[in-house]
Each structure stands twice: as structure tokens, then as C-alpha cells.
Amino acid sequence: MFGPLPLRARLGLVGLLTLLTFGVALAPGRLSSPIRKLANYRADTRDPIYNYPLDPRAIRRAAAILPNSRQATYYIHTRPEPQLGHDLIGAGLLFFLPAVPVPSPREAQWVLSYQAPTLLPKGVRAARTYQVGRRIYLVRLRPA
């Protein structure tokens, strides 16, 4: 497998390439950009990179409270912002399963109230409220 390159020369070449790689990795500016991107110098957390700046800890706290049951249903109550709603639905599908989302609060046993103008939408009443973040609540509803 090894060709005519002597072992010392091969080791020297590999050493040189290693030094060069480290040099490029540590270089300022655009030179180090490819390695910086690939190695992700500024490490991410374990949470999704949401499009809207959701509070990831609040989502996980709510997930820990929701019952681990396919019968559990939840409703997302928030401001009328498309990106916020989109991300909350995705976060719910990721963390709240096996509970399923429903489109109407009257069908829900739980409400995730995420920085909404009111704690709950009209027509439902709280049985118990858990604060999981700043102006973020998980609310167990009273049965209708």
C-alpha cells in the first residue's frame, strides 16, 4: 500500500499537513472560516434551532408535566404571529408526544399558554396552572 515515499518523508509530510491544518483552524478571519463552520466553534445547545426565539427550557418543563398518554390533548394559545405558531406546533410535536394537539380549546385537556394576551382562550377554565417560563404557562383545564 505504501509507495516510494520514505517513511520519514511521509511522517514529515503528515506532520506538516497537521501543522497547516491547525494553523488554518486558528487563523483569524476568512481563512479559518471553512474549519470554523465544520467544527462549529460556537457550540449549540441540545435544543432545536427555532426560527422564533422560543424559550426551550419552558418547552421542556411543559413536556415533563404533560401526561405520557395518547389520550392527552393540548391546545396552543399564543399571539397571532405565524412564525411563533409554527414553531410552537413543531416544538409540541417534538416534545409533547404522545399527547396530541387539537385545534380548539374546547377539545383540549391542557393549554400551552405562550406569552398570550390572556392566560386562557374564551370558553375554558383552569383546574391548575403551572408556570414554566416568563409568561409561559401549562394549564390543566376543568372538564366541560
Partner 1 sequence: MGLVAGVVVLNVVLAAVGYCVLAPALRGRSVLTYVSYGGVALLVGTGLVPLVLEMLAPTGLHLGLGAFAAVAAALAAAGLAARRFVRLDADPRRAAPPRTLSGDVVATVAAFGIVAILGIGLVGGFRASPWLDDTWYFWLPKGRALDLAGLDPRLWTPQPALHMLFGHDYESLTFIRPDNPLWWSILLNLDMRFVGSVDLRAVNGELAFLMIGFVGTAARLLWGHVRLSILLPALLVLLSAPEFLRQAQGGDADVPLAIYLALAILCAAGWLALRSRFALALFFVFAATAVATKSEGVLELVLDLAIVSVVAWRARRALLPLWGAAAAAVATGIPWYAWRAANDIPNVFSLRNALSPSYLSHHTYLLHGGLRILGDHLTSVREWSLIVPLAVALGLAGFVRERRLPWLAPAAFLGFGYVLFVWISWADPEGAFRLVASAYRYVTPPIVLAGIFLPVLGERLARAFSGTSRAGRGR
Residues making contact with partner 1 (CB under 8 A): 1-5, 10, 13-14, 17-18, 21, 34-35, 37-40, 43-51, 68, 70, 76, 78, 80-82, 84-87, 89-91, 93-95, 97-98, 100-103
Shortest distance, position 109 Cβ to partner 1, whole Å: 15
* Residue 100 contacts residue 73 (beta carbons within 8 Å): yes
As given in the structure block, the three cell numbers for residue 10 are 511521509
| Pairing verdict, β 136-141 and 126-133 | antiparallel
For partner 1, the closer CB: 21 or 131: 21
Shortest distance, position 104 Cβ to partner 1, whole Å: 9
For partner 1, the closer CB: 26 or 128: 26
**44: alpha, beta or left? (left if phi > 0; alpha if psi -120 to 50):** beta
Shortest distance, position 93 Cβ to partner 1, whole Å: 4
Closest by alpha carbon to 85, among 103, 63, 58? 103
What is the C-alpha to C-alpha distance for residues 8 and 11, in angstroms, rounded to an integer? Answer: 5
For partner 1, the closer CB: 21 or 128: 21
* Residue 107 contacts residue 75 (beta carbons within 8 Å): yes
* Residue 85 contacts residue 78 (beta carbons within 8 Å): yes
Shortest distance, position 28 Cβ to partner 1, whole Å: 18
What is the C-alpha to C-alpha distance for residues 91 and 5, in angstroms, rounded to an integer? Answer: 56
For partner 1, the closer CB: 83 or 131: 83
For partner 1, the closer CB: 97 or 126: 97
Shortest distance, position 143 Cβ to partner 1, whole Å: 21
